[in-house]
């Protein structure tokens, strides 16, 4: 059965070659084997492949590695081998095991001092033979504990889902093809290609390197990047000395390399580090800390009131047990122990909503910070602009000019010589041909299925070569050496030899015009190298400025026998068109008080052209160069950067200075970027935002948020969501505190005035379930108000309990208390309290709660403005609570537990009308605020 299954999945040809490769040698002629036997033999051989410890792998020669891991370094593994190895070694990921079982987490809920007090009360009831009370209290405790447990469990599950949203990727050689795969799919023996900015996806033994520098700080704590080699080590010392091994989770800072996977998942060296990281607890957000403080203050206040109730009740001669039960039940209802949980759940749900909008938030605390963001510093290339760079203009060193049609990486389009509009192919014009050839050779990008694997700028040069039918010219050269691009030197060069010819080695260089020109002494004129004159340099400078002023990114290209004696070939103008929606996003952000600043390594003209195109700073542009930044003192810089909208010719060091200066000036700064040179700034900003598609692994590692579609306009959605979450939490706090104060005050007043208690212990606990349960939770998932983005950023020191919110809390509480006491007085006959009295009072309070929740959906907008049916979860939860209340009133077993009796239809209508008063008054106050404070709202303030 198994053998037949494999035969269907994998045709004979798919592993026939593998069967021959691993054919064991015998003394005589090899016997003919059946197909099934061949399959089983290969499966057994694949099972023999084991993980190689780094200290062993570093001493192995390449031939020994290939033999041990049963892989051909030129073609990689077959899909059949990958499947068999995965069955043995599993996925390349860490299984996050929950060390604490669910039942233990559930029992931990009983550690709450208030719950223990309630259980003590139930025990006292058993001792005094009040069995019904004991059963009722125990049941109520179970309900409260279960609600709290479900909330925490849901929060943890949501966070686990978030961890799956950012899968690391890698370039892997399989079956002779370079494939872009998720890192979790790797198995021992896979061949991985590494380049600048990649995160190492597994433990690798290097088999080929070019000036490879790897940052192992996340693994070893060493700040300086390590030089890597592919040479065999004679001695295996400490793992930090293994120069031919790179470890999972480390970052490629410079150069490129190729390695074979020797360890995956739990079997990698990073496995131990991961376990230590898991032990670290996530720090609480400022919002959570303030909520905890609020909870403690209210707890102390609540205990003071409860102590007073018990003391006064005891002095008045009431049963101490009864007062104790009432007091403890009231504590559970009054103390907002659910507040911190609600904050976490609200934040998590907000993060998941962002994920649906293609914005991934890696760290939960960032969600609340978004609403405070008032400055966005954005990298230009690949962030504000599209990710498909296209060559549109060429200027050769001898003065020829050409324009290029077609957009993107599909190779469609032509190169036209100006002014004749002659279509150029191959070397029909030698000067243009040589320029395009250089761009194709000094290049690490690959175009596959109309998408680029590598940097977009290099992809544009490959696409240009495709249009000239020169894309295969790269194959005429053998690369001997590469000097990779870095943000500091701003150029890249390769040393090549021509295949099958005894010509001398040749260098090809590309990079920023000023830097490349420094290495040139000659220029190309129709295939002949002539001495570079000042007049020629002036001409090139003028052309570079002209192209840059029209928004083109300008690259210079050169070639020659040695660096310092290169022949200048010409200039290539590449446009990175602004993304759709960026101009609109910049306008909306500007109107809402968020300043957008562009930071780029490009020249002034290029930066200004793009800035004007996207409407930066409403067209009033002020620019500053990186050189000017260096000459400003710290104090001057902090005041100067506030008014600058474009920073050009900047390095990573400059970007960091800008971020720090803005933060010193009191700004909450968000930084968006995609490159290696953005990583430091992304990490130092209050909110680091990386690009999901074009972004390097370094930038994604440093960032707190990732825009999956590389769409800058989705930043608006993120800020909108951040502001909405804060307002939702305020809505929840208003509802819970007004209910809590009402319940406390009701019992306090009745005790102090020597009146019978209007609510019994079970009824108070039922109110607590509504207060902490579905209706309250649904306020946290209220859809974001459409006008939220227009509101100015909130001050990071703003408290949840503003004066306006406190007034509204007390207003609602007074209405609820007055209405409930009125019903209690009206239904209280001279003969004493009856079940009808408590039922009417209890139902009145619950109805008040539900209407209060309805008006708490927004602090400023009327119900018809936010939409009655917009939050379906709220409607379902209120309906559920209403039906639950009817069940408590009309179902006999519940009547016994809650000490209620049937009510008539007119009673329900009366209570509904009275309870709606809290909603009507609150809506009327909102209407008055809108009319009286109209200018204030136009400025965009929310209370």
Positions annotated as catalytic residues are: 379
Helices (H) and strands (E) in the chain, counts: 36, 28
C-alpha to C-alpha distance for 607 and 667, rounded to whole angstroms: 23
C-alpha to C-alpha distance for 723 and 789, rounded to whole angstroms: 8
CA distances from 501 to 330, 441, 482, 505, 677 (A): 93, 17, 21, 10, 39
- 343 and 364 Cβ atoms separated by less than 8 Å: no
C-alpha to C-alpha distance for 799 and 803, rounded to whole angstroms: 10
C-alpha to C-alpha distance for 204 and 924, rounded to whole angstroms: 68
- 359 and 793 Cβ atoms separated by less than 8 Å: no
How many C-beta atoms lie closer than 10 Å to residue 426's C-beta? Answer: 13
Q: Both tokens of residue 62? A: 């390449």
**DSSP letter (8 states) at residue 599:** E
C-alpha to C-alpha distance for 733 and 638, rounded to whole angstroms: 37
Question: Could you tell me the sign of the dihedral formed by the alpha carbons of 246, 247, 248, 249, in that order?
Answer: negative
C-alpha to C-alpha distance for 851 and 874, rounded to whole angstroms: 12
Please state whether beta strands 646-648 and 623-625 pair in parallel, antiparallel, or not at all (unpaired).
parallel
**DSSP letter (8 states) at residue 454:** S
Question: Following DSSP, what letter does each residue of 81-120 receive, concatenated?
Answer: HHHHHHHHH--SS-----SS-HHHHHHHGGGSHHHHHHHH
* Among 380, 389, 394, 383, CA closest to 576: 389
* Among 430, 431, 432, CA closest to 416: 432
Task: Give the SS3 label for residue 8.
Answer: helix
C-alpha to C-alpha distance for 252 and 197, rounded to whole angstroms: 5
Q: Both tokens of residue 704? A: 């707190």
* Among 62, 9, 661, 645, CA closest to 378: 645
- What 3 state SS string does 748-809 have? HHHHHCCCCCCCCHHHHHHHHHHHHCHHHHHHCCCCCCCCHHHCCCCCCCCCCCCHHHHHHH
- 313 and 330 Cβ atoms separated by less than 8 Å: no
Please state whether beta strands 595-599 and 646-648 pair in parallel, antiparallel, or not at all (unpaired).
parallel
3-state helix, strand, coil in the chain (%, to 5): 50, 15, 30
Who's near 934: CB < 8 A, 6+ residues apart?
Answer: none
CA distances from 870 to 716, 779, 866 (A): 21, 12, 7
C-alpha to C-alpha distance for 243 and 840, rounded to whole angstroms: 79
Task: Give the SS3 label for residue 524.
Answer: strand
- 145 and 138 Cβ atoms separated by less than 8 Å: no
Question: Could you tell me the sign of the dihedral formed by the alpha carbons of 524, 529, 533, 535, in that order?
Answer: negative
Q: How distant is the alpha carbon of residue 2 from its chain centre?
A: 43
Calculate Rg over the CA atoms of the chain: 35
Q: Both tokens of residue 906? A: 């007119």
Question: Could you tell me the sign of the dihedral formed by the alpha carbons of 241, 247, 249, 252, in that order?
Answer: positive
Question: Which residue's entry shows tokens 């490349």?
Answer: 516
C-alpha to C-alpha distance for 880 and 872, rounded to whole angstroms: 12
């Amino acid at each position: 059965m198994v053998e037949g299954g494999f035969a269907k999945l994998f045709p004979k040809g798919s592993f026939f070659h593998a069967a021959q490769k691993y054919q064991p040698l015998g003394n005589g002629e090899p016997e003919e084997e059946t197909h099934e036997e061949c399959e089983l033999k290969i499966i057994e051989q694949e099972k023999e492949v084991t993980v190689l410890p780094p200290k062993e792998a570093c001493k192995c020669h390449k031939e020994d590695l290939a033999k041990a891991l049963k892989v051909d370094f030129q073609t990689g593994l077959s899909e059949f081998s990958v499947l068999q190895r995965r069955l043995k070694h599993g996925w390349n990921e860490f299984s996050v095991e929950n060390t604490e079982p669910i039942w233990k987490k559930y029992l931990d809920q009983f550690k709450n001092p208030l719950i223990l007090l309630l259980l003590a009360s139930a025990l006292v009831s058993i001792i005094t033979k009040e069995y019904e009370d004991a059963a009722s209290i125990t049941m109520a405790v179970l309900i409260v504990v279960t609600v709290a447990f479900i909330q925490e469990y849901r929060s943890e599950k949501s966070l686990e889902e978030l961890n799956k949203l950012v899968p690391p990727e890698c370039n892997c050689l399989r079956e002779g093809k370079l494939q872009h795969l998720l890192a979790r799919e790797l198995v021992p023996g896979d061949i991985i290609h590494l380049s600048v900015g990649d995160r190492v996806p597994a433990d690798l033994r290097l088999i080929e390197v070019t000036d490879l520098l790897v940052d192992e700080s996340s693994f070893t704590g060493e700040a300086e990047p390590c030089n890597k080699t592919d040479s065999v080590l004679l001695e295996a010392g400490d793992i930090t000395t293994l120069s031919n091994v790179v470890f999972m989770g480390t970052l490629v800072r410079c150069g490129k390399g190729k390695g074979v996977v020797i360890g995956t998942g739990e079997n990698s060296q990073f496995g131990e580090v991961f376990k230590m990281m898991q032990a670290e607890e996530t720090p609480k957000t400022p919002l959570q800390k303030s909520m905890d403080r609020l909870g403690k203050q209210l707890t102390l206040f609540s205990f003071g009131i409860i102590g007073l109730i018990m003391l006064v009740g005891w002095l008045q001669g009431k049963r101490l047990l009864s007062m104790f039960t009432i007091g403890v039940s009231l504590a559970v209802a009054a103390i907002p122990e659910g507040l911190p949980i609600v904050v976490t759940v609200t934040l998590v749900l907000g993060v998941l909503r962002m994920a649906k909008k293609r914005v991934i938030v890696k760290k939960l605390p960032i969600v609340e910070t978004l609403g405070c963001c008032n400055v966005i510093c954005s990298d230009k290339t690949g962030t504000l602009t599209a990710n498909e760079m296209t060559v549109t203009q060429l200027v050769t060193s001898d003065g020829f000019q050409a324009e290029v049609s077609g957009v993107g990486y599909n190779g469609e389009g032509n190169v036209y010589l100006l002014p004749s509009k002659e279509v150029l192919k191959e070397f029909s014009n030698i000067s243009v041909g040589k320029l395009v050839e250089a761009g194709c050779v000094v290049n690490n990008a690959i175009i596959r299925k109309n998408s680029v694997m590598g940097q977009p700028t290099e992809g544009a040069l490959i696409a240009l070569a495709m249009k000239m039918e020169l894309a295969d010219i790269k194959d005429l050269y053998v690369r001997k050496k590469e000097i990779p691009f870095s943000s500091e030197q701003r150029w890249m060069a390769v040393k090549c030899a021509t295949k099958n010819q005894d010509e001398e080695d040749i260098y090809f260089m590309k990079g920023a015009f000023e830097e490349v020109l420094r290495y040139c002494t000659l220029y190309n004129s129709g295939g002949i190298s002539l001495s570079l004159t000042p007049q020629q340099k002036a001409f090139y400078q003028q052309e570079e400025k002209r192209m840059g002023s029209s928004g083109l990114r300008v690259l210079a290209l050169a070639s020659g026998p040695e660096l310092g004696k290169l022949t200048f070939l010409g200039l290539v103008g590449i446009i990175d068109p602004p993304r759709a929606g960026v101009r609109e996003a910049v306008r909306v952000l500007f109107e809402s008080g968020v300043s957008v600043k562009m930071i780029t390594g490009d020249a002034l003209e290029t930066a200004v052209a793009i800035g004007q195109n996207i409407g930066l700073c409403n067209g009033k542009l002020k620019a500053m160069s990186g050189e000017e930044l260096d000459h400003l003192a710290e104090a001057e810089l902090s005041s100067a950067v506030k008014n600058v909208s474009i920073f050009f010719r900047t390095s990573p060091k400059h970007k960091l200075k800008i971020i720090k200066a803005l933060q010193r000036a009191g700004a909450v700064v968000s930084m968006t970027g995609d490159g290696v040179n953005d990583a430091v700034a992304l990490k130092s900003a209050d909110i680091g935002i990386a690009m999901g598609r074009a972004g390097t692994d370094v930038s994604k590692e440093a960032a707190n948020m990732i825009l999956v579609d590389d769409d800058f306009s989705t930043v608006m959605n993120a800020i909108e969501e951040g502001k909405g979450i804060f307002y939702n939490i305020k809505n929840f706090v208003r509802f819970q505190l007004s209910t809590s104060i009402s319940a406390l005050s009701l019992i306090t007043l009745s005790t102090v005035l020597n009146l019978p208690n209007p609510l019994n212990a079970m009824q108070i606990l039922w109110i607590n379930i509504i207060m902490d349960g579905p209706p309250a939770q649904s306020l946290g998932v209220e859809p974001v108000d459409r006008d939220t983005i227009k509101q100015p950023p909130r001050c990071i020191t703003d408290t949840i309990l503003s004066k306006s919110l406190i007034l509204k809390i007390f207003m609602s509480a007074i209405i609820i208390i007055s209405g409930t006491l009125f019903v209690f007085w009206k239904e209280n006959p001279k003969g004493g309290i009856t079940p009808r009295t408590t039922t009417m009072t209890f139902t009145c309070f619950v109805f008040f709660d539900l209407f209060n929740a309805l008006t708490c959906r927004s602090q400023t907008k009327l119900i018809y403005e936010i939409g009655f049916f917009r939050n379906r979860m709220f409607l379902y939860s209120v309906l559920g609570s209403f039906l639950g209340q009817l069940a408590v009133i009309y179902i006999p077993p519940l009547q016994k537990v809650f000490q209620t009796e049937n009510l008539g239809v007119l009673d329900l209508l009366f209570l509904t009308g009275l309870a709606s008063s809290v909603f009507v008054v609150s809506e009327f106050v909102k209407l008055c605020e809108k009319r009286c404070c109209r200018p204030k709202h136009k400025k965009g303030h929310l209370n």
